[in-house]
Every structure is written in structure tokens, then in C-alpha cells.
Structure 1
Amino acid sequence: MHALKYRYDSVRRGLDSSTNGHGKKTANTVSISSEDKSTIGLLYWLAVMFDTVSSSMNERPLVVADEECQHSSPQEEPPAAGEQDETSSGRWKIDVFIQDDLEAPGELLHWPCSYEAAAEAVTKSAPVKVLLFRHVSYLQNILRKGGRGQKVEEIIRSTTSVYRYWNMTYGSFFRELVQNFDAVPPRIQSWFVCISAHWHLAALMLADLVEFVDGNNLGTGTVVRSRVNSKMASRIRESSVRELSDLASVATPPNEESGNIPGPQLPDFHHAVNEGTILTEPWTMILIRAFSKASVILLGEADESLRYGRATLGHNNEEFRESLERAEECIKGLWLLGKKSDMARKIAEVLSVASDGLRR
């Protein structure tokens, strides 16, 4: 795909190899229609998206560099002399992907709403999700190179602004969709569940990185102390694991009770994926990572509550029970994903043993 985009750019700028010995174009010069341009642009964006998510998730370098991810306007006009594009600073510009006020978003969408409005919101949320993964990758890379101080803080500040914007907009809307899941159209269910799970995996990765920065004093002193005092990393982690457990709860079929076998959640979908909404995710590994990471964190919370809570006056067993039940929701999601992934099933087996051990 990268090679195709490179070839397309060459043809568009008249630099293709279809020239004679005097540098003049020959009659068989390739012409590209507007439909071809749109198709190549869409495929290239998909390649950039997959590369961004995969590289940060697997902690590897990006294949498609920032300078190769330039956003083309409809007129495809080059920037004027001295004008910066969105990658001139070395990183993606947030306002290219979020054309809104980060601190005070415009009109906020709420459920119930029309199918068209919900579909548009879910569609617009996808680039914001990719933007968070890209910033997680920036933070991984600068830490890998030994960066510290203001450069690290700049990336964290930019990343947290994206995180806050999501919570005020798409995150809030998606939480309403979870709360009213049965009333949401099946196609919207399958779209938003996958995007939301991706987002929360990126958020958990961000929390780990911020915790690493603060624990090793790689940022600036006052900002690090502020984050530590506010428990920023812990709050991001706690929010995401609970929302992942909520997603697993609604996006998997209910447990069989009294011999009643629940019907498929998505009866109009193909039989291979209609049993549960999370089965519609084509990139199964992302959900495996998200639910397994959330399960481990929640089981850790339950174990800590069990180990130390009983020795504390006024200990409330409700915290232990909630953490364990939420972990089991995520494990249930992994069991369902096990229908299409041996890895998911094996992880579910291991985590189930750990959960059963805490219940004894």
C-alpha cells in the first residue's frame, strides 16, 4: 500500500516514469480518476491506521513515518511557502483529526438519537482513537530514546488533551450506548463496541507510560508531583478497566439459566459472529489484549482487597466482590473470543483459574 501511494504521488505530480528520453511524457501516461484518488486515499489511511495501532500495541517502530502521513485537502493544493503542514513539527497535528475546540467541544450527542447521527458520531470517533494510539507511540519512542523533561511533558500534555476531549464527547456518548445497549441498532452496537475497546486499550497503555514517567522522574518536577498527587495514571486505568468490563457485559450473551439457551445477540448477522457483538471485531488481537489486560488489573485489585482489606477495620467486602465480578465479565469476553482464537481461550482458562482461586 505504501508503494501504491508513492506511485500515485509520482503520477499526480508528473514524476512518473512514462517519459521518453527527452523528459517528455509519452502517450501511455497513466491517468487517475477522482474515484481512483478517493480509493487510494482510503486504502492508505487504513494502512496508516493499522500501522499506528499495531506499532504502539507491539512496541515497534512505525513503518509509515509522520512525513508520509500528510493530510490532503480536497483540492490537493500544496502548502504555501513557509506554511507548515500537520507533520512539520514531527508529529500529527490534533486539529487535523479533531476539528473542534478541545476544551469546549461543540454540540454534544446523546442517546436516543437517529441512526444517521449515531453512525456519524461512531465514524468520526475512529480517527480520534487512532490519534491516541499515535501519541502513545510518540511517548513510547521518546522514552525508548532516553528522552526526559520538557519533551516528554509536551507529548503527555498533548495526549491528555485528546483523552479529555474523548471523555467529553465520544466517550460520554458511548457510555450512554452501553447503558441502553438493547435499544441500540445492531450495526451501531458492533461499530462502537470495537472502537471503544480499542480506545480503552490505548488508554491503559497510556496509564502505564505515565506511571513509568512519574515513577522514574522523567518529566518536570512540579508536573510530575501534580500527576502523582492527583493519581492520574490510576484514575485513567480504573476508568478504562471498568468501561471494558461494562462492554464485555453487554457485548456477550447472558449466561445460561435454568437450561435456557440465549439466542444470538445479532440475529441478522452471519452465523459465525452473531452469537455476541464482540465477535464482529476482525482484529481479534486488540480485544484479547484489552480484555486480558483489564482482567489482570481487576484480579489484582481483588487480590489486594482480599489480602489487606480484612486486616483493616471497616473493610467492605463489596470492593472485592465488584472487582472480581468485573474481572469475570472480561474473562467471559475472552471465552467468547475463544470461538475464533485459541489464544483467547487459553488466556481465559488461565485467568479463570486465578479467579476461582480468589473465590475460595
Structure 2
Amino acid sequence: MLGVRPEAPEEAGSVDSRVPSLSPPRSGSTMDVSPGATAALRGEVVDNVLLGQKVAEAHMRYTVTQDLFRIYHDSMENNLACWVTEQTCPYSVFRNAPGTNAREHMPSVKWRGGSAKWEDRFCAQACLLDRAYSHVRERKLTAIEEKNVSHAFHKAIMAFAMQWARRKTDRGLKSPNSGIAKATEDCWNEAYRSLQICAGVESIRVLYACLIFGLTARPRPCPSDHELLDMARMDEESSPFGVFSSQAPSQRKHAASIPSVLQELLDADQATEFLEHAARQLRMIRNKLEERKIHRGSCAAESHGFGTHELDTFNLIFWMGVVFETVHSPVFKRPIVITEEDCAIHIPSNSCAFNDPLPSYSSSAAAAAAADELQQKLPLWGDMLLQQRAADVDARKIEPGSFSTFEDIAEIISEAATIKTLLFRRVSQLQASIREIAPADRVERFIQETLRVIGFWDRSYGQHMKQYMQQHDSLLPRLQSWYCLILGHWQLGVLLFCEAVEEADQGGLSPRCRLEHRETSQSVTRLRMRTALAACNLAKACLHTHKKDPTSVEPALFHDVFQPAALLFEPSTTLLVRLFTKAALLLIDEISEDECEYMMLDPSKSLIKQHVNLCIKALECVGAVTNVAVLMASHVSQKLTQAISGAR
């Protein structure tokens, strides 16, 4: 536990033996106070004053630390409890054991939706797993390494939580208190330096801290906000495309694009290099565990302090890393670190009992050959996840129109998170094929596979999400925070997919027949516009959340900083910033399209203004966490004003 627990106050009327009485001598007293005694008395008083100050400072540090841990817990741990569970983790030991029923053997998830108590499960498990991993590393960390790792681990969590320390004004650009802004920046910089120092240490805590810090928004100095907006205007004026241009529709989309100066800020909003470092460490450790299992056998592993329980815990953290990297790589258009082969699921073959020890091998080549015989490698990103979720949907027998229990809704949202991850993986595969200028049939295969995932979502989990938006106020706060973020991520993934398809078609990487069909049917344009409007509806729903009754004596379910809206629970703010910015600019761009289907239904442009304003409000809400959202909100507002005035 960070900080120092404050000492309990003494009972009223008690006398501290360390503090002498300062009352004057009684009348007629013959006691003489020498100069030396007076000096000693003053020294004791000063010592006690300093002691009181130290206790007060320690108490304040303890309180702040506990407050920040609560914020970390309510955002990160709260969402991980939905995104990464034993039931949805494809690497679960119990799920992949031959001849077993996964749901019978896997630990049950106790959602505890109405309870204010929630363990920091992943944080604690990372610490315990790191201790057990010393048996795999075959050495304990040195005293200096332990100190550096512990410091970096805590600083990463503190830097993550400090994002919510911002406070916003009522009007204009939102800006935090200068003291809080300085503290946030200092904490981020210290975490950055601490993780760099530990970069070479093989530790579960280090890679977990890198995963957390990789999602943390980089602090931006507020005084430069107006200057950046001026630079954005200059950037637009120098652009070859005006707000309204006579260019073809495929080119005119650039009119409402994000200026390069703001795009650079958006791309640099998170230290994604730490996510990549964590992904490399996870890949390396998983390979080491597989080799260890081949050389020693699973029973031998149990006797060396890293058994089935520890392996299953690592698999959860590995799946957490896969989810984080899979979602963020296509957003930043970066290559995937944990490749398709690295993500393969290792399943023991039926010829080998699950807990039987494997024979030892003298060479890695022989061990690798034995591994191929004694286990199967199932590709994760094929049809497996779709088949599993389809089976879950069929077995549940819950109609989207019917309202369910907390546990049922939580299970549905958790399963939907897996399909959301699959969508981002498909988008990443499509982006990679475009970068590599792959053959047209391969590019088209990724497009069709992504459309298949989208179609499955629309028929299943998408129907449930619509119900949750309609009945948002009836849901418990925890469910609100879960479904809003999953749905927001999904919508961003669909918009990224539409951008990739458009890039492939314009670059001539698609088969001619498919390209002509998409142009004729406008299927991608319709999908993108439908998703942008859905993002506006999501903003309308999740800008509100439950507020604690001031007369209630029950403890608050979440920290006060999350009270304004469910959007504020997002651990990775760049996802929401990009979603609402893209959705708003797409709608603004349609104002110039007087003959488009949407504008024909809204000739007065009142509806489009309402939808864009919802995105602006959502960006301003997220601006309580990151200044980049504030800048994007201001940019979108300016574009809306220009578009409305230019269309008259």
C-alpha cells in the first residue's frame, strides 16, 4: 500500500507525555525557569509541530493515493471485468482441455452489479503472477530491479488515474487548474521515465504497467490550445480542398477532414510504443512458457511454482494484451506485434492426457517436433470466435426485445466485446493487405470477411445494444458504462473499415466487379452514414448516467469524477475522440450534398445540426480527461458554423 496510514487520533482529554504543560505556574509558586529549560521546552514544541506536519502530509498522501487507486479501479478494472473474463478468454486452460465442458470447469464470474465493493483483480493478479514468474525466470529480481519495477508499476497506475483530476469550466475551452495540470504532467513524465528504466526487466508487472500507460493520454499544455486552433485554420486555408468544392465526391470528403496539425496531436495522444513493448513481452513470455511445458511437462511445472492456476492467470493477461493491441493497431494504422501465429490456441491432443507430464528433450528442435505431435494449434482469427458466439446466442434464448437480469445483460455485453475485437482484427488485416499492395482477391477476401462479422453483429448483439440505448436510464450504472464503451468501439471499427474499403477501391486494389457493385449500391456510403448517425444516438444516451441520491447513506458505486456521463469510464479516450470527431465531420460533409438521401429528408438541416451538436457535447465531456478532445470539439464546432453559413 502506497503512502503512510495516519495515526489514530488520541482520545479527548488524554495527555501526550511528549508535550510538557505550557500553563503558567500557580500563584505563589517558587519554581524558577532557567534559560536552558526554556530553550529545551521550545525545542520540544517545535519537534511536535513538525511531527504533526509530517503526520498531516502522510495522511494527505495516503488519501490522494487511495483516491487515485479508486479512479483506476472504477475505469480500468471495471471495464476489464467485462472485456476479459474466463468465459470469453479463448486461452483458458479449462476451455481448451480435451474432453471437458468449459462452462462446468471454468470459475464463475460474480458480477456484483449493485455492490460498491470491487476488487482490483487484474492489478493484484499481475503482482502475484510476477512473484510466481520468478520460477520461470529462474532468478529473483535484484533489490534495485525490485525497487524500480515497483516504482514504475505504481507510477503508471497513478498517471492513468491522474487523467480524471482535470476540472472544466462552463464555457469556452476547458482548462484544468494550473496546479492540477502541472501535477498531471509531472506524474506522466515520471511514469514514462520509470518504465523506460525498467524496459529491459523481464517482469509481469512491467508489461502490465506498459499496457495501462499505453492507454494514458499524454498531458497537453493548455496555453497553446488557441495557437493550435489558429494553426489548424492556416492548415485548412493552404489545403487544395475548400469547405465546398466542385471535386468528385470521393475527393470532396477531404473538405471535412481533420487538419494535419490536429491529426498529429491525435496520433501522439498516447504513448503507443509502450503497448507495443508490452505486446512483445507477452509474446516472448508465452513462447517461453510453451517451451518450458514441453521440456518439463505440466506436472513438473506444478512442482516448480508455476502451475495451471498461474498459467490461466497469464492467459487472461495475454488475452488482455491481445485485445488492447488489436483495437489500437488499426486506429493508429500500425502493424500488429502479436501475429496470427502468436495468437494461435494450443490445444493438447487427445492422445495425451491434459495433466500427464511430457517427456524431456535435449534439443529445442526435438521439443518443437514433439509439440506439434502432442498439441494442436487452432487459429484464433478464423471462424472460431464467430462460431463460439453464435453458439452462445443460440443457447441463451433471450430475445433482444425482452429485458433481462443483470447477469444476463452482463454476459451479453461481455460476449459482444469479443466480436468487437474480431472486427478490429479484420480491419487490421485489411489495412495490412492495402499497405502491402496485396492481390485484389486477397484484399476482397478481407473485405467480405469483415462484412460477415458486421452482419453477425447486426443480427445478434447489435439488436441488444439498441435495446440498451432505448432503456439506458433503466440500466444500472455499471451496465451503462459497459455497453456504451463496447458500442462506441464497435462504431469506430466500422468507420475505420469504411475508410479502408474506400482506400482500396480508390487505389485499384479491389476486383473490378466488386468495385462497380459498391459504387452502384453505395453500400459503403450507406454503412458509414448509418454508423455516424448511430454514434450521435449513442452520445445522446450515454451523456447521462445515474447520480447518487444526496440523502442516501449507501456508499457511492463509483468515484465522483465519473458522475457526469458514462463516457468518462473510457480507459482509452482516443477511441471516443476519434469516433465522435469522425461521425460529426461525416455529417457536416453531407451538408454540401443537397441530393444525398439524408439531406433530402432534412432540407432545413436542423436534424443534422442536432446530431453534430451531440457529438460536440460528447467531445466536450471527454475533454474533462484530455485536452485533445477539447480541441476536436472546437474544430468540429467551427466546421459546422462554416458549413451552415456556406450552404445558405
TM-score w.r.t. length of structure 1: 0.83
Q: 2:310 is matched with which residue?
A: 36
Instruction: Give, in whole Å, the separation in 2 of the partners of 1:97 and 1:238.
Output: 26
CA contact (8 A) 2:327 2:421 kept: yes
* Aligned-pair CA distance for 1:318: 4.5
CA contact (8 A) 2:346 2:375 kept: no
2:634 alignment partner AA: E
Aligned CA-pair RMSD: 3.2
Q: 2:608 is matched with which residue?
A: 323
CA contact (8 A) 1:119 1:188 kept: yes
**Unmatched segments (≥5 aa) in structure 2:** 1-281, 349-353, 357-369, 550-555
Task: Look up the SS of the partner of 1:64 in the other structure.
Answer: coil
Where do 1:121-200 residues align within 5 Å?
121-200=412-491
- Corresponding residue pairs, total: 333
Larger radius of gyration: 2
Q: 2:582 is matched with which residue?
A: 293
CA contact (8 A) 2:591 2:644 kept: no
CA contact (8 A) 1:268 1:274 kept: no
Q: 1:272 aligns with which of 561, 572, 591?
A: 561
2:519 alignment partner AA: V
- By relative contact order (CA 8 Å, sep 6+), the higher-ranking structure is 2
Instruction: Give, in whole Å, the separation in 2 of the partners of 1:76 and 1:349.
Output: 60
* Aligned-pair CA distance for 1:222: 2.1
Q: Deviations over 1:225-259 (max 9, x none)?
A: 222222121122012111111111011149xxxxx
Where do 1:241-256 residues align within 5 Å?
241-253=532-544
2:564 alignment partner AA: E
Instruction: Give, in whole Å, the separation in 2 of the partners of 1:163 and 1:339.
Output: 32
Going from structure 1 to structure 2, the CA distance change for 1:149 and 1:334 (only over 3 Å counts) comes to same
Q: 2:95 is matched with which residue?
A: none
Going from structure 1 to structure 2, the CA distance change for 1:212 and 1:280 (only over 3 Å counts) comes to same
**Unmatched segments (≥5 aa) in structure 1:** 17-24, 255-261
Going from structure 1 to structure 2, the CA distance change for 1:73 and 1:192 (only over 3 Å counts) comes to farther
Q: 1:19 is matched with which residue?
A: none
CA contact (8 A) 1:86 1:96 kept: no
1:40 alignment partner AA: F
2:339 corresponds to 1:65: yes
Q: 1:95 aligns with which of 373, 376, 384?
A: 384
Instruction: Give, in whole Å, the separation in 1 of the partners of 2:455 and 2:371.
Output: 30
Going from structure 1 to structure 2, the CA distance change for 1:98 and 1:196 (only over 3 Å counts) comes to farther
Instruction: Give, in whole Å, the separation in 1 of the partners of 2:347 and 2:575.
Output: 31
Where do 1:202-221 residues align within 5 Å?
202-221=493-512
* Aligned-pair CA distance for 1:348: 0.8
Q: 1:283 is matched with which residue?
A: 572
CA contact (8 A) 2:294 2:371 kept: no
CA contact (8 A) 1:253 1:276 kept: yes
Q: 2:144 is matched with which residue?
A: none
Instruction: Give, in whole Å, the separation in 2 of the partners of 1:249 and 1:315.
Output: 23
Instruction: Give, in whole Å, the separation in 1 of the partners of 2:374 and 2:293.
Output: 22
Instruction: Give, in whole Å, the separation in 2 of the partners of 1:142 and 1:344.
Output: 31
Q: 2:327 is matched with which residue?
A: 53
* Aligned-pair CA distance for 1:264: 7.0
How many percent of aligned residue pairs carry the same amino acid?
Answer: 25
Q: Deviations over 1:76-99 (max 9, x none)?
A: 999976997433xxx821223542
CA contact (8 A) 1:178 1:250 kept: yes
Q: 1:116 is matched with which residue?
A: 407
2:625 corresponds to 1:356: no
Q: Deviations over 1:1-60 (max 9, x none)?
A: 3333233223222269xxxxxxxx9x9973322221111000000111111111111111
CA contact (8 A) 1:53 1:130 kept: yes
CA contact (8 A) 2:389 2:415 kept: no
